[in-house]
Amino acid sequence: MSSGGRIGHDAPYMPRGCDMRWFSSEEICEILARFEKVIIVGDSMMRHVIGSLNVLIRKDLGYGAVTDWNFSSEERKECFCNYQFNVKACSIQGIFKTADVIKNDPSSLSCPADTVDVMIEQMIRFPIAPEELTRLRDLLPSSKPSRPYAFIYGHGLWNNLDLQATLDWLDLILDTTVSAAPWLQTDYPSSQSVDNIRNVASKRSGNQEGALKGFSWPGKRLNGFWPRLFLTPNAAGKEKPDEWLVTQGNKALTIFEESVKEEAARRGVEHLGTYNMSIQSNKFDGVHVDLKGNLIKAMMVLNWLNMLEVENF
């Protein structure tokens, strides 16, 4: 899915070397119901992923991504359809968890009640604020649930495509996750607990930024069922501000995508590149793709979720 492309600007996206299915809303509900919770972690691009998932399970191209149940008449006019994903006006009013739909507009959800739980934790840069890590811990049960959790990450632009900052961001999230939910790694060595590792690393470095440098995260050696996917940023569009065209331009983005793919694999995290999908797509600001582009990205994620062998949990 990462290596496909388009024949012309805004032409249909075609995956390369694989069959990418376009699921119905009912099929999407069935896929998501295989998981106790799907947790998305990242920035505004990841906020658009959960927004697109909500469009699909609410069967609402007009307002499916946003909290339309509390919109004024002006907001309904300004945030309709494609403009749901305008980050400066509308997507900040996006739906951050399906629980809010169930609470405020349950009839709009295609999925049976209490079968789907998808949410986002916004963690946009490294260092990560302590309260953000606390919220992540609070989402995770200490004992093994009846269905697996799936995790989808996205990061990069808020740290200016600094690869080491992104890896530190990811490693800290992985460490925090497995320390709160040790059942994710069935043979996680107690003598090498994350808390002990982090304490040693923090003493060595004296700060969060340096706590993980040079540290080989132990999760890559373990065999628990822990599905994780990392999405790298969209390609830059012509509206990208000139001051970012060197550090966040398409050369930097392709190098970043290739590097993250390699580093994610070392950590047991799968990678989905979005550069090829987005290079010829419409963008609001040279960064964020429109409704069509975000629906493609969400369907890519759903294809990944559908391929996971949940029976191994």
Give this prediction's pTM.
Answer: 0.89
The Cα–Cα gap between 292 and 269 comes to: 27
279: left (phi over 0), alpha (psi -120 to 50) or beta: alpha
Q: For residue 84, how many C-alpha atoms fall within 13 Å in the half-sphere facing its CB?
A: 29
| Nearest by Cα to 120 from 171, 29, 52, 28 | 52
* Cα-to-chain-centroid distance, residue 3: 19
Q: How many residues does the chain have?
A: 313
Cis peptide before 127 (omega within 30 of 0): yes
Q: What proportions of the chain, in percent to the nearest 5, are helix, strand and coil? A: 45, 10, 45
* Cα-to-chain-centroid distance, residue 152: 4
- Tens digit of pLDDT at every position of the chain (313 positions): 999 999 999 999 999 988 899 999 999 999 999 999 999 999 999 999 999 999 999 999 999 999 999 999 999 999 999 999 988 788 889 999 999 999 999 999 999 989 999 999 999 999 999 999 999 999 999 999 999 999 999 999 999 999 999 999 999 999 999 999 999 985 444 334 444 544 544 543 445 555 544 444 444 434 579 999 999 999 999 999 999 999 999 999 999 999 999 999 999 999 999 999 999 999 989 999 999 999 999 999 999 999 999 999 9
Q: Which residue has the tokens 């606390």?
A: 134
The Cα–Cα gap between 75 and 136 comes to: 31
Q: Which residues pair with 97 in a beta bridge?
A: 119
Q: Are strands 270-272 and 149-154 parallel, antiparallel or unpaired?
A: unpaired
Cβ-count burial 96-125 (b if 16+ within 10 Å, e if not): bbbeebbeebeebbebeeeebbbbbbebbb
Rounded alpha-carbon distances, angstroms, from residue 1 to 14, 184, 234, 276, 298: 8, 27, 14, 9, 12
